[in-house]
A and B are shown apart, each in its own frame.
Chain A
């Protein structure tokens, strides 16, 4: 079983719909992240959380919100999806040495 699990793996939705991407981890890490990957742009940080009561905006947080329901769960929401939010989304965890451990990604298509 994967240490960092994302659901759904793939999703197609329509403009204006609310979408939630969920992430759970069994690595026991306090730090969790949501990144977005677009072709030619690399990975960009949306939100990060260093513990359950700590939520921080990243580079591209507009249009997104997050919830840290527990140490092991960190969900990303798009309140009203738009086509330019079509991307591959990664959840990740980290330990004190800094390297990220990624989920398998959630590909979102907004029509």
Chain B
């Protein structure tokens, strides 16, 4: 089975600091999409950022950016200037070209400390 691995079950960061969440994945496809989702205590799943595998440029959304290493099958999320509202579970996910079924990692619980 093709998998998505988040090796850090829990992390913490001081408010205003920068933190990086790791994600590696397995795929035999050349074209696919990668995503980071955030799940705050409200349990809503919120899309944070999206990366298309055929694009070499790393995606950025305000304080959130990714480091996409296609050859290494690595897709890490960097959160800059961490805020208390960033406290949440973060899930990495990968889709396959054509099917668009997302496979999720098991999540990283991030706590932002005041």
Give residues in A with beta carbon < 8 Å to B: 31, 33, 35, 40-45, 48, 58, 88, 90, 92, 94, 96-102, 104-105, 107
Contacts and interface: CB of A to CB of B under 8 A. Distances in A.
Contacts of B35: 98-100
Interface of B: 4, 9, 33, 35, 37, 43-45, 47, 50, 91, 93, 95, 100-107
Contacts, number: 54
Contacts of A35: 104
B33 A40 contact: no
Given A40-B106, A43-B91, A98 B100 contact: yes
Given A40-B106, A98-B33, A104 B43 contact: yes
B53 to A, nearest CB: 11
